[in-house]
Chain A
Protein backbone atom coordinates (compact mmCIF):
# COMPACT_ATOMS: atom_id res chain seq x y z
CA UNK A 1 0.00 0.00 0.00
CA UNK A 2 1.33 3.42 -0.91
CA UNK A 3 1.78 5.90 1.89
CA UNK A 4 1.78 9.69 1.72
CA UNK A 5 5.57 9.90 1.35
CA UNK A 6 5.49 7.60 -1.71
CA UNK A 7 2.74 9.73 -3.24
CA UNK A 8 4.69 12.92 -2.69
CA UNK A 9 7.73 11.41 -4.40
CA UNK A 10 5.58 10.67 -7.44
CA UNK A 11 4.13 14.16 -7.32
CA UNK A 12 7.66 15.65 -7.18
CA UNK A 13 8.46 13.98 -10.51
CA UNK A 14 5.17 14.40 -12.31
CA UNK A 15 4.21 17.82 -10.99
CA UNK A 16 7.36 19.46 -9.63
CA UNK A 17 5.41 22.65 -8.92
CA UNK A 18 2.73 21.24 -6.64
CA UNK A 19 1.91 22.29 -3.11
CA UNK A 20 0.06 20.41 -0.38
CA UNK A 21 -1.91 22.46 2.14
CA UNK A 22 -3.64 21.24 5.27
CA UNK A 23 -7.23 21.92 6.35
CA UNK A 24 -6.13 25.16 8.04
CA UNK A 25 -4.58 26.45 4.81
CA UNK A 26 -0.98 25.93 5.89
CA UNK A 27 1.61 24.48 3.54
CA UNK A 28 2.65 20.92 4.27
CA UNK A 29 5.11 20.38 1.41
CA UNK A 30 5.98 21.77 -2.00
CA UNK A 31 7.53 20.27 -5.15
CA UNK A 32 11.21 20.84 -6.02
CA UNK A 33 10.72 23.41 -8.79
CA UNK A 34 8.32 25.49 -6.73
CA UNK A 35 10.84 25.33 -3.89
CA UNK A 36 13.52 26.60 -6.26
CA UNK A 37 11.56 29.78 -6.87
CA UNK A 38 12.03 30.79 -3.20
CA UNK A 39 15.07 28.76 -2.12
CA UNK A 40 15.47 30.54 1.24
CA UNK A 41 11.85 30.26 2.22
CA UNK A 42 10.86 27.84 4.98
CA UNK A 43 7.69 26.64 3.28
CA UNK A 44 6.32 24.10 5.72
CA UNK A 45 3.81 25.63 8.14
CA UNK A 46 3.48 28.94 6.25
CA UNK A 47 -0.05 30.02 5.34
CA UNK A 48 -0.70 29.57 1.63
CA UNK A 49 -2.23 33.07 1.35
CA UNK A 50 0.80 34.63 3.03
CA UNK A 51 2.93 33.56 0.09
CA UNK A 52 0.48 33.72 -2.77
CA UNK A 53 -1.99 36.40 -3.74
CA UNK A 54 -5.06 35.14 -5.58
CA UNK A 55 -5.76 37.37 -8.58
CA UNK A 56 -8.62 35.33 -10.08
CA UNK A 57 -11.13 34.40 -8.79
CA UNK A 58 -10.91 37.49 -6.60
CA UNK A 59 -13.15 36.59 -3.71
CA UNK A 60 -11.13 33.64 -2.50
CA UNK A 61 -10.01 34.66 1.00
CA UNK A 62 -10.18 31.60 3.23
CA UNK A 63 -9.23 27.98 2.98
CA UNK A 64 -12.93 27.12 2.62
CA UNK A 65 -13.20 29.47 -0.38
CA UNK A 66 -10.09 27.91 -1.83
CA UNK A 67 -11.35 24.34 -1.57
CA UNK A 68 -14.56 25.42 -3.32
CA UNK A 69 -12.54 26.36 -6.42
CA UNK A 70 -11.70 22.67 -6.93
CA UNK A 71 -11.15 21.78 -10.56
CA UNK A 72 -11.28 25.35 -11.89
CA UNK A 73 -8.42 27.47 -13.17
CA UNK A 74 -6.76 29.69 -10.59
CA UNK A 75 -4.60 32.75 -11.23
CA UNK A 76 -2.20 33.75 -8.51
CA UNK A 77 1.10 35.46 -7.97
CA UNK A 78 3.83 35.67 -5.37
CA UNK A 79 3.29 38.42 -2.83
CA UNK A 80 6.96 39.35 -2.76
CA UNK A 81 9.14 40.28 -5.70
CA UNK A 82 9.55 38.95 -8.36
CA UNK A 83 5.78 38.64 -8.39
CA UNK A 84 5.77 35.83 -10.91
CA UNK A 85 2.29 35.01 -12.13
CA UNK A 86 1.17 31.39 -11.82
CA UNK A 87 -1.71 29.28 -13.02
CA UNK A 88 -3.06 26.54 -10.80
CA UNK A 89 -5.69 23.98 -10.04
CA UNK A 90 -6.79 22.61 -6.69
CA UNK A 91 -7.86 19.08 -5.86
CA UNK A 92 -9.30 18.50 -2.35
CA UNK A 93 -7.70 15.68 -0.36
CA UNK A 94 -10.04 13.01 1.04
CA UNK A 95 -11.70 13.41 4.46
CA UNK A 96 -11.12 17.17 4.65
CA UNK A 97 -7.38 16.74 5.05
CA UNK A 98 -6.64 19.84 2.96
CA UNK A 99 -5.82 20.08 -0.70
CA UNK A 100 -3.27 19.50 -3.41
CA UNK A 101 -2.60 22.50 -5.63
CA UNK A 102 -0.69 22.06 -8.87
CA UNK A 103 0.92 25.20 -10.29
CA UNK A 104 2.50 26.19 -13.59
CA UNK A 105 3.94 29.35 -15.08
CA UNK A 106 1.51 29.87 -17.91
CA UNK A 107 2.51 32.72 -20.15
CA UNK A 108 5.00 34.12 -17.62
CA UNK A 109 7.29 31.17 -18.27
CA UNK A 110 9.77 33.19 -20.36
CA UNK A 111 10.52 35.65 -17.56
CA UNK A 112 10.43 32.87 -14.96
CA UNK A 113 13.07 30.79 -16.71
CA UNK A 114 15.33 33.84 -16.73
CA UNK A 115 14.51 35.13 -13.26
CA UNK A 116 15.00 31.78 -11.54
CA UNK A 117 17.68 30.30 -13.78
CA UNK A 118 15.56 27.22 -14.51
CA UNK A 119 16.88 24.30 -16.55
CA UNK A 120 15.15 21.51 -18.41
CA UNK A 121 15.61 19.33 -15.28
CA UNK A 122 13.16 21.63 -13.48
CA UNK A 123 10.36 20.60 -15.81
CA UNK A 124 8.75 17.21 -16.14
CA UNK A 125 9.81 15.52 -19.41
CA UNK A 126 6.17 15.44 -20.48
CA UNK A 127 5.84 19.17 -19.89
CA UNK A 128 5.92 21.12 -23.18
CA UNK A 129 7.68 24.13 -21.65
CA UNK A 130 11.04 23.31 -23.26
CA UNK A 131 9.39 22.95 -26.66
CA UNK A 132 7.65 26.24 -26.13
CA UNK A 133 10.92 27.99 -25.26
CA UNK A 134 12.45 26.43 -28.35
CA UNK A 135 9.61 27.71 -30.47
CA UNK A 136 9.82 31.22 -29.05
CA UNK A 137 13.54 31.37 -29.80
CA UNK A 138 13.16 29.84 -33.24
CA UNK A 139 10.39 32.30 -34.11
CA UNK A 140 12.41 35.25 -32.79
CA UNK A 141 15.41 34.19 -34.88
CA UNK A 142 13.26 33.74 -37.98
CA UNK A 143 11.48 37.06 -37.38
CA UNK A 144 14.82 38.78 -36.95
CA UNK A 145 16.02 37.38 -40.28
CA UNK A 146 12.79 38.59 -41.89
CA UNK A 147 13.14 41.99 -40.27
CA UNK A 148 16.67 42.32 -41.61
CA UNK A 149 15.41 41.46 -45.08
CA UNK A 150 12.64 44.04 -44.79
CA UNK A 151 15.12 46.69 -43.70
CA UNK A 152 17.36 45.95 -46.66
CA UNK A 153 14.43 45.98 -49.07
CA UNK A 154 13.24 49.26 -47.59
CA UNK A 155 16.72 50.73 -48.11
CA UNK A 156 16.78 49.45 -51.69
CA UNK A 157 13.35 50.95 -52.33
CA UNK A 158 14.43 54.35 -51.06
CA UNK A 159 17.58 54.17 -53.18
CA UNK A 160 15.56 53.20 -56.23
CA UNK A 161 13.15 56.10 -55.65
CA UNK A 162 16.05 58.49 -55.30
CA UNK A 163 17.44 57.26 -58.57
CA UNK A 164 14.14 57.50 -60.38
CA UNK A 165 13.66 60.33 -62.85
CA UNK A 166 9.91 60.64 -62.68
CA UNK A 167 7.74 62.73 -60.42
CA UNK A 168 5.22 60.16 -59.25
CA UNK A 169 2.29 62.58 -58.82
CA UNK A 170 2.36 64.22 -62.24
CA UNK A 171 4.39 61.81 -64.36
CA UNK A 172 6.64 64.72 -65.33
CA UNK A 173 10.43 64.56 -65.06
CA UNK A 174 11.79 65.39 -61.61
CA UNK A 175 14.62 67.68 -60.57
CA UNK A 176 17.14 64.89 -60.84
CA UNK A 177 16.13 64.22 -64.45
CA UNK A 178 16.29 67.94 -65.19
CA UNK A 179 19.85 68.11 -63.82
CA UNK A 180 20.87 65.27 -66.13
CA UNK A 181 19.28 66.89 -69.18
CA UNK A 182 20.89 70.26 -68.47
CA UNK A 183 24.23 68.54 -68.07
CA UNK A 184 23.78 66.74 -71.39
CA UNK A 185 22.74 69.92 -73.27
CA UNK A 186 25.57 71.96 -71.83
CA UNK A 187 28.07 69.15 -72.44
CA UNK A 188 27.07 68.87 -76.10
CA UNK A 189 26.97 72.65 -76.59
CA UNK A 190 23.29 72.62 -77.62
CA UNK A 191 21.42 75.95 -77.41
CA UNK A 192 18.36 75.92 -75.23
CA UNK A 193 15.91 78.10 -73.36
CA UNK A 194 15.09 77.53 -69.72
CA UNK A 195 11.72 78.63 -68.36
CA UNK A 196 10.90 78.59 -64.67
CA UNK A 197 7.16 78.45 -63.99
CA UNK A 198 5.61 78.97 -60.58
CA UNK A 199 1.89 78.64 -59.90
CA UNK A 200 0.06 81.60 -58.39
CA UNK A 201 -2.69 81.09 -55.79
CA UNK A 202 -1.86 77.37 -55.50
CA UNK A 203 -1.45 77.67 -51.74
CA UNK A 204 -5.01 79.05 -51.52
CA UNK A 205 -6.36 75.98 -53.32
CA UNK A 206 -4.48 73.68 -50.97
CA UNK A 207 -5.57 75.61 -47.90
CA UNK A 208 -9.24 75.97 -48.76
CA UNK A 209 -10.01 72.82 -50.75
CA UNK A 210 -7.39 70.44 -49.35
CA UNK A 211 -4.36 68.60 -50.64
CA UNK A 212 -6.35 66.24 -52.85
CA UNK A 213 -7.64 69.27 -54.75
CA UNK A 214 -4.08 70.61 -54.92
CA UNK A 215 -2.92 67.29 -56.37
CA UNK A 216 -5.67 67.40 -59.00
CA UNK A 217 -4.56 70.91 -59.98
CA UNK A 218 -0.93 69.81 -60.28
CA UNK A 219 -1.93 66.90 -62.51
CA UNK A 220 -4.00 69.19 -64.71
CA UNK A 221 -1.14 71.73 -64.85
CA UNK A 222 1.24 68.97 -65.90
CA UNK A 223 -1.10 67.94 -68.75
CA UNK A 224 -1.36 71.51 -69.99
CA UNK A 225 2.40 71.96 -69.95
CA UNK A 226 3.01 68.76 -71.87
CA UNK A 227 0.35 69.76 -74.44
CA UNK A 228 1.88 73.22 -74.89
CA UNK A 229 5.37 71.90 -75.54
CA UNK A 230 7.04 69.72 -78.16
CA UNK A 231 8.12 66.11 -77.69
CA UNK A 232 11.77 67.21 -77.60
CA UNK A 233 11.18 69.72 -74.79
CA UNK A 234 11.52 68.75 -71.15
CA UNK A 235 8.90 69.53 -68.53
CA UNK A 236 10.04 68.91 -64.97
CA UNK A 237 8.35 69.45 -61.65
CA UNK A 238 11.14 70.72 -59.43
CA UNK A 239 9.23 71.76 -56.31
CA UNK A 240 5.73 71.75 -54.81
CA UNK A 241 4.23 74.08 -57.41
CA UNK A 242 7.38 74.91 -59.37
CA UNK A 243 8.16 73.69 -62.85
CA UNK A 244 11.04 74.03 -65.28
CA UNK A 245 10.61 73.72 -69.03
CA UNK A 246 13.68 73.24 -71.19
CA UNK A 247 13.27 74.09 -74.88
CA UNK A 248 15.98 72.50 -76.96
CA UNK A 249 17.38 74.56 -79.84
CA UNK A 250 15.06 77.50 -79.23
CA UNK A 251 16.59 80.98 -79.24
CA UNK A 252 13.74 83.17 -80.41
CA UNK A 253 12.24 85.25 -77.62
CA UNK A 254 9.15 85.96 -79.75
CA UNK A 255 8.29 82.24 -79.91
CA UNK A 256 8.94 81.78 -76.22
CA UNK A 257 6.93 84.83 -75.20
CA UNK A 258 3.98 83.63 -77.28
CA UNK A 259 4.19 80.19 -75.80
CA UNK A 260 4.42 81.52 -72.26
CA UNK A 261 1.37 83.69 -72.81
CA UNK A 262 -0.65 80.77 -74.13
CA UNK A 263 0.55 78.54 -71.30
CA UNK A 264 -0.47 81.03 -68.61
CA UNK A 265 -3.86 81.52 -70.24
CA UNK A 266 -4.51 77.78 -70.35
CA UNK A 267 -3.33 77.33 -66.76
CA UNK A 268 -5.84 79.94 -65.66
CA UNK A 269 -8.74 77.81 -66.85
CA UNK A 270 -10.45 76.53 -63.67
CA UNK A 271 -9.97 72.88 -62.78
CA UNK A 272 -13.11 71.13 -61.53
CA UNK A 273 -12.60 69.12 -58.37
CA UNK A 274 -15.27 67.59 -56.15
CA UNK A 275 -17.96 69.94 -57.42
CA UNK A 276 -15.80 73.02 -56.87
CA UNK A 277 -13.67 74.97 -59.31
CA UNK A 278 -10.00 75.36 -58.46
CA UNK A 279 -8.51 78.54 -59.90
CA UNK A 280 -4.80 79.13 -60.21
CA UNK A 281 -2.57 81.16 -62.46
CA UNK A 282 1.17 81.13 -63.17
CA UNK A 283 4.18 83.38 -63.41
CA UNK A 284 7.18 82.50 -65.52
CA UNK A 285 10.73 83.66 -66.17
CA UNK A 286 12.97 82.59 -69.00
CA UNK A 287 16.64 82.75 -69.90
CA UNK A 288 18.59 81.52 -72.92
CA UNK A 289 21.84 79.59 -72.98
CA UNK A 290 23.08 81.93 -75.74
CA UNK A 291 22.90 84.87 -73.32
CA UNK A 292 25.66 83.25 -71.29
CA UNK A 293 29.13 83.94 -72.59
CA UNK A 294 31.82 81.34 -72.14
CA UNK A 295 30.92 78.11 -70.39
CA UNK A 296 27.25 77.77 -69.64
CA UNK A 297 26.55 76.91 -66.03
CA UNK A 298 23.31 75.09 -65.16
CA UNK A 299 23.06 76.64 -61.71
CA UNK A 300 23.64 80.14 -63.10
CA UNK A 301 20.91 79.65 -65.72
CA UNK A 302 18.47 78.34 -63.15
CA UNK A 303 19.25 81.41 -61.06
CA UNK A 304 18.62 83.74 -64.03
CA UNK A 305 15.27 82.12 -64.79
CA UNK A 306 14.43 82.35 -61.10
CA UNK A 307 15.22 86.10 -61.03
CA UNK A 308 13.05 86.67 -64.10
CA UNK A 309 10.25 84.69 -62.45
CA UNK A 310 10.47 86.84 -59.32
CA UNK A 311 10.39 89.98 -61.43
CA UNK A 312 7.24 88.64 -63.11
CA UNK A 313 5.64 87.94 -59.74
CA UNK A 314 6.48 91.43 -58.51
CA UNK A 315 5.07 92.92 -61.66
CA UNK A 316 1.68 91.59 -60.66
CA UNK A 317 1.76 87.83 -61.30
CA UNK A 318 0.16 85.93 -64.19
CA UNK A 319 2.84 87.11 -66.55
CA UNK A 320 6.08 86.11 -68.17
CA UNK A 321 9.40 88.01 -68.25
CA UNK A 322 12.79 87.34 -69.79
CA UNK A 323 15.93 87.58 -67.73
CA UNK A 324 17.74 90.91 -67.92
CA UNK A 325 21.09 91.75 -66.48
CA UNK A 326 20.76 93.64 -63.21
CA UNK A 327 17.64 91.78 -62.12
CA UNK A 328 17.71 90.82 -58.47
CA UNK A 329 15.41 89.86 -55.70
CA UNK A 330 14.89 93.16 -53.86
CA UNK A 331 15.12 93.56 -50.11
CA UNK A 332 11.51 93.14 -48.93
CA UNK A 333 11.18 89.99 -51.04
CA UNK A 334 14.33 88.42 -49.59
CA UNK A 335 13.34 89.32 -46.07
CA UNK A 336 9.93 87.80 -46.66
CA UNK A 337 11.57 84.62 -47.86
CA UNK A 338 13.86 84.55 -44.91
CA UNK A 339 16.96 84.59 -47.12
CA UNK A 340 19.90 86.69 -46.02
Chain B
Protein backbone atom coordinates (compact mmCIF):
# COMPACT_ATOMS: atom_id res chain seq x y z
CA UNK B 1 0.00 0.00 0.00
CA UNK B 2 1.35 3.43 -0.88
CA UNK B 3 3.19 5.26 1.88
CA UNK B 4 0.84 8.23 1.50
CA UNK B 5 -2.11 6.13 2.65
CA UNK B 6 -0.25 4.63 5.59
CA UNK B 7 1.12 8.04 6.45
CA UNK B 8 -2.39 9.55 6.34
CA UNK B 9 -3.57 7.07 8.96
CA UNK B 10 -0.49 7.82 11.05
CA UNK B 11 -1.17 11.57 10.80
CA UNK B 12 -4.76 11.01 11.93
CA UNK B 13 -3.79 8.89 14.95
CA UNK B 14 -0.94 11.17 16.03
CA UNK B 15 -3.03 14.31 15.66
CA UNK B 16 -6.09 12.86 17.43
CA UNK B 17 -4.59 10.59 20.09
CA UNK B 18 -0.97 11.69 20.36
CA UNK B 19 2.50 10.35 19.57
CA UNK B 20 2.47 7.82 22.42
CA UNK B 21 -0.61 6.06 21.15
CA UNK B 22 0.94 5.77 17.71
CA UNK B 23 4.18 4.42 19.16
CA UNK B 24 2.20 1.76 21.04
CA UNK B 25 0.27 0.78 17.92
CA UNK B 26 3.45 0.42 15.87
CA UNK B 27 5.08 -1.58 18.63
CA UNK B 28 2.10 -3.90 18.70
CA UNK B 29 2.17 -4.15 14.89
CA UNK B 30 5.78 -5.34 15.21
CA UNK B 31 6.97 -4.04 11.83
CA UNK B 32 10.44 -3.07 12.98
CA UNK B 33 9.92 0.65 12.34
CA UNK B 34 7.78 3.30 13.96
CA UNK B 35 6.89 5.71 11.17
CA UNK B 36 5.64 5.43 7.62
CA UNK B 37 7.24 7.54 4.92
CA UNK B 38 4.77 9.22 2.56
CA UNK B 39 6.90 8.66 -0.52
CA UNK B 40 7.87 5.03 0.03
CA UNK B 41 5.96 1.86 -0.67
CA UNK B 42 4.85 -0.72 1.88
CA UNK B 43 3.50 -4.22 1.38
CA UNK B 44 -0.18 -4.93 1.98
CA UNK B 45 0.88 -7.26 4.79
CA UNK B 46 2.65 -4.39 6.58
CA UNK B 47 -0.35 -2.10 6.20
CA UNK B 48 -2.71 -4.84 7.39
CA UNK B 49 -0.59 -5.44 10.52
CA UNK B 50 -0.72 -1.72 11.29
CA UNK B 51 -4.49 -1.57 10.76
CA UNK B 52 -5.09 -4.62 12.98
CA UNK B 53 -2.94 -3.10 15.71
CA UNK B 54 -4.86 0.16 15.31
CA UNK B 55 -8.18 -1.65 15.69
CA UNK B 56 -6.96 -3.48 18.82
CA UNK B 57 -5.74 -0.27 20.37
CA UNK B 58 -8.92 1.72 19.69
CA UNK B 59 -11.37 -1.04 20.57
CA UNK B 60 -13.61 0.23 17.79
CA UNK B 61 -14.58 -1.16 14.43
CA UNK B 62 -11.92 -0.40 11.82
CA UNK B 63 -14.64 0.98 9.52
CA UNK B 64 -15.39 3.76 12.02
CA UNK B 65 -11.72 4.58 12.51
CA UNK B 66 -11.21 4.79 8.74
CA UNK B 67 -14.23 7.03 8.34
CA UNK B 68 -12.80 9.36 10.99
CA UNK B 69 -9.53 9.30 9.12
CA UNK B 70 -11.32 10.46 5.96
CA UNK B 71 -12.96 13.30 7.85
CA UNK B 72 -9.62 14.27 9.38
CA UNK B 73 -7.94 14.38 5.97
CA UNK B 74 -10.35 17.04 4.74
CA UNK B 75 -11.10 19.04 7.85
CA UNK B 76 -7.76 19.23 9.63
CA UNK B 77 -5.76 22.34 8.77
CA UNK B 78 -2.54 20.27 8.98
CA UNK B 79 -3.48 18.51 5.76
CA UNK B 80 -4.97 21.51 3.97
CA UNK B 81 -3.29 20.47 0.71
CA UNK B 82 -5.63 17.50 0.19
CA UNK B 83 -8.76 19.52 0.88
CA UNK B 84 -7.64 22.11 -1.64
CA UNK B 85 -6.93 19.46 -4.25
CA UNK B 86 -10.43 18.01 -3.74
CA UNK B 87 -12.02 21.46 -3.98
CA UNK B 88 -10.52 21.83 -7.44
CA UNK B 89 -13.05 19.15 -8.42
CA UNK B 90 -15.99 21.51 -8.53
CA UNK B 91 -17.55 24.79 -7.50
CA UNK B 92 -20.39 23.05 -5.67
CA UNK B 93 -20.91 19.70 -3.96
CA UNK B 94 -22.73 18.04 -6.85
CA UNK B 95 -19.95 19.04 -9.24
CA UNK B 96 -17.47 17.72 -6.69
CA UNK B 97 -19.35 14.39 -6.58
CA UNK B 98 -19.18 14.12 -10.35
CA UNK B 99 -15.46 14.86 -10.25
CA UNK B 100 -14.93 11.71 -8.14
CA UNK B 101 -15.00 9.68 -11.36
CA UNK B 102 -11.70 11.38 -12.18
CA UNK B 103 -10.25 10.99 -8.68
CA UNK B 104 -7.94 8.03 -9.40
CA UNK B 105 -6.60 9.82 -12.50
CA UNK B 106 -6.16 13.05 -10.59
CA UNK B 107 -4.34 11.20 -7.83
CA UNK B 108 -2.04 9.64 -10.40
CA UNK B 109 -1.30 13.05 -11.90
CA UNK B 110 -0.05 14.16 -8.51
CA UNK B 111 1.76 10.98 -7.47
CA UNK B 112 2.41 8.67 -10.41
CA UNK B 113 2.48 5.43 -8.42
CA UNK B 114 -0.58 6.13 -6.25
CA UNK B 115 -3.33 3.81 -7.46
CA UNK B 116 -6.81 4.37 -6.08
CA UNK B 117 -9.81 2.16 -6.92
CA UNK B 118 -12.03 3.32 -9.76
CA UNK B 119 -15.08 5.32 -8.65
CA UNK B 120 -18.33 5.80 -10.50
CA UNK B 121 -21.08 8.20 -9.58
CA UNK B 122 -24.60 7.17 -10.60
CA UNK B 123 -27.32 9.79 -10.39
CA UNK B 124 -30.49 7.97 -9.28
CA UNK B 125 -32.64 11.08 -9.16
CA UNK B 126 -31.88 14.78 -8.55
CA UNK B 127 -30.07 14.95 -5.22
CA UNK B 128 -29.81 11.16 -4.94
CA UNK B 129 -26.60 9.37 -5.92
CA UNK B 130 -24.88 6.04 -5.62
CA UNK B 131 -21.11 6.08 -5.51
CA UNK B 132 -19.71 2.75 -6.68
CA UNK B 133 -16.25 2.02 -5.36
CA UNK B 134 -14.37 -0.78 -7.10
CA UNK B 135 -12.39 -3.25 -4.98
CA UNK B 136 -8.60 -3.18 -4.66
CA UNK B 137 -7.98 -1.13 -1.57
CA UNK B 138 -9.81 -2.66 1.41
CA UNK B 139 -11.35 -0.01 3.64
CA UNK B 140 -11.09 2.75 1.03
CA UNK B 141 -14.88 3.07 0.88
CA UNK B 142 -14.97 3.93 4.58
CA UNK B 143 -12.28 6.58 4.20
CA UNK B 144 -14.36 7.96 1.31
CA UNK B 145 -17.42 8.13 3.56
CA UNK B 146 -15.46 10.40 5.89
CA UNK B 147 -14.17 12.48 2.99
CA UNK B 148 -17.66 12.87 1.48
CA UNK B 149 -19.10 13.95 4.83
CA UNK B 150 -16.36 16.48 5.49
CA UNK B 151 -16.50 17.86 1.94
CA UNK B 152 -20.26 18.43 2.35
CA UNK B 153 -19.44 20.54 5.40
CA UNK B 154 -16.75 22.27 3.40
CA UNK B 155 -19.27 23.30 0.73
CA UNK B 156 -21.90 24.06 3.38
CA UNK B 157 -24.32 21.36 2.18
CA UNK B 158 -26.30 18.84 4.23
CA UNK B 159 -26.06 15.23 3.07
CA UNK B 160 -27.02 11.79 4.34
CA UNK B 161 -24.57 9.00 3.60
CA UNK B 162 -25.33 5.33 3.78
CA UNK B 163 -22.83 2.53 3.34
CA UNK B 164 -24.69 -0.17 1.44
CA UNK B 165 -22.07 -2.91 1.48
CA UNK B 166 -20.90 -4.75 -1.60
CA UNK B 167 -23.01 -5.11 -4.71
CA UNK B 168 -23.37 -8.89 -4.57
CA UNK B 169 -22.46 -9.52 -0.96
CA UNK B 170 -18.99 -10.95 -1.63
CA UNK B 171 -15.72 -9.30 -0.64
CA UNK B 172 -14.51 -9.12 -4.23
CA UNK B 173 -17.28 -6.96 -5.64
CA UNK B 174 -17.68 -3.19 -5.67
CA UNK B 175 -18.97 -1.34 -2.62
CA UNK B 176 -21.82 1.16 -2.81
CA UNK B 177 -22.25 4.39 -0.87
CA UNK B 178 -25.60 6.09 -1.26
CA UNK B 179 -25.59 9.87 -1.02
CA UNK B 180 -28.68 11.96 -0.43
CA UNK B 181 -28.31 15.70 -0.83
CA UNK B 182 -30.81 17.09 1.68
CA UNK B 183 -30.07 20.76 1.42
CA UNK B 184 -27.58 22.91 -0.42
CA UNK B 185 -26.29 26.04 1.26
CA UNK B 186 -27.37 24.51 4.55
CA UNK B 187 -24.55 26.26 6.34
CA UNK B 188 -21.75 28.67 5.58
CA UNK B 189 -19.10 26.56 3.85
CA UNK B 190 -15.41 27.22 3.95
CA UNK B 191 -14.04 29.54 1.34
CA UNK B 192 -11.87 28.27 -1.43
CA UNK B 193 -9.41 30.75 -2.83
CA UNK B 194 -7.77 29.48 -6.02
CA UNK B 195 -4.62 31.47 -5.45
CA UNK B 196 -4.24 30.92 -1.69
CA UNK B 197 -1.52 28.37 -2.22
CA UNK B 198 1.86 29.98 -1.89
CA UNK B 199 4.44 28.71 -4.30
**Contact count band on B:** 20 to 34
A142 to B197, CA, bound (A): 14
B85 cross-chain contacts in A, Cβ below 8 A: 134, 137-138, 141
B-facing residues in A117-135 (Cβ within 8 Å):
117-121, 130-131, 133-135
Evaluate contact between A138 and B106: CB separation under 8 angstroms: yes
B199 within 8 A of A: yes
B-facing residues in A137-163 (Cβ within 8 Å):
137-142, 144-146, 148-149, 152
Evaluate contact between A134 and B88: CB separation under 8 angstroms: yes
A 295-307 binary contact with B (CB < 8 Å = 1; else 0) = 0000000000000
B82 cross-chain contacts in A, Cβ below 8 A: 141
The winner among A117, A121, A134, A144 for most chain B CB atoms within 10 A is A134
A149 to B199, CA, bound (A): 19
Given A134-B88, A149-B39, the answer on whether A141 and B81 have CB atoms closer than 8 Å is: yes
Min distance, Cβ B109 to any Cβ of chain A, angstroms? 6
Given A145-B38, A146-B39, A148-B38, the answer on whether A140 and B88 have CB atoms closer than 8 Å is: no
A152 cross-chain contacts in B, Cβ below 8 A: 37
Min distance, Cβ A108 to any Cβ of chain B, angstroms? 12
Given A137-B81, A137-B84, A139-B110, the answer on whether A149 and B40 have CB atoms closer than 8 Å is: yes
A136 within 8 A of B: yes
A152 to B39, CA, bound (A): 12
Identity of the chain B residue whose Cβ is nearest the Cβ of A138 in the assembled complex: B110
A59 within 8 A of B: no
**Contact count band on A:** 20 to 34
Evaluate contact between B110 and A142: CB separation under 8 angstroms: yes
Evaluate contact between A142 and B111: CB separation under 8 angstroms: yes
A144 to B82, CA, bound (A): 13
A139 cross-chain contacts in B, Cβ below 8 A: 110
A114 to B194, CA, bound (A): 7
A-facing residues in B41-94 (Cβ within 8 Å):
81-82, 84-85, 88, 91
B195 within 8 A of A: yes
Evaluate contact between A140 and B106: CB separation under 8 angstroms: no
B4 within 8 A of A: yes
A113 within 8 A of B: yes
The winner among B84, B85, B196, B197 for most chain A CB atoms within 10 A is B197
A149 to B58, CA, bound (A): 29
Q: Which of B4, B84, B88 contacts A130 (CB 8 A)?
A: B88
A169 within 8 A of B: no
B20 within 8 A of A: no
A110 within 8 A of B: yes
Given A134-B106, A137-B85, A140-B199, the answer on whether A117 and B193 have CB atoms closer than 8 Å is: yes
Evaluate contact between A145 and B91: CB separation under 8 angstroms: no
Identity of the chain A residue whose Cβ is nearest the Cβ of B90 in the assembled complex: A120
B199 cross-chain contacts in A, Cβ below 8 A: 110, 136, 140
B84 cross-chain contacts in A, Cβ below 8 A: 137
Min distance, Cβ B42 to any Cβ of chain A, angstroms? 14
Q: Which of A120, A131, A133, A145 contacts B4 (CB 8 A)?
A: A145
Min distance, Cβ B3 to any Cβ of chain A, angstroms? 9
A146 cross-chain contacts in B, Cβ below 8 A: 39
A 271-314 binary contact with B (CB < 8 Å = 1; else 0) = 00000000000000000000000000000000000000000000
A120 cross-chain contacts in B, Cβ below 8 A: 91, 194
Evaluate contact between A137 and B197: CB separation under 8 angstroms: yes
Evaluate contact between A133 and B111: CB separation under 8 angstroms: no
A134 to B86, CA, bound (A): 9
A256 to B84, CA, bound (A): 73
Min distance, Cβ A149 to any Cβ of chain B, angstroms? 5
A138 to B81, CA, bound (A): 8
Identity of the chain A residue whose Cβ is nearest the Cβ of B196 in the assembled complex: A114
Name 10 interchain pairs, CB-CB below 8 A, sorted by A: A118-B194, A121-B91, A131-B88, A133-B194, A137-B84, A138-B109, A138-B110, A139-B110, A141-B110, A149-B37
On B, residues with C-beta under 8 Å from A are 4, 37-40, 81-82, 84-85, 88, 91, 106, 109-111, 193-197, 199
On A, residues with C-beta under 8 Å from B are 110, 113-115, 117-121, 130-131, 133-142, 144-146, 148-149, 152
User: Would you list the 4 A-B pairs with minimal beta carbon distance, nearest first?
Assistant: A114-B195, A138-B110, A113-B195, A134-B88
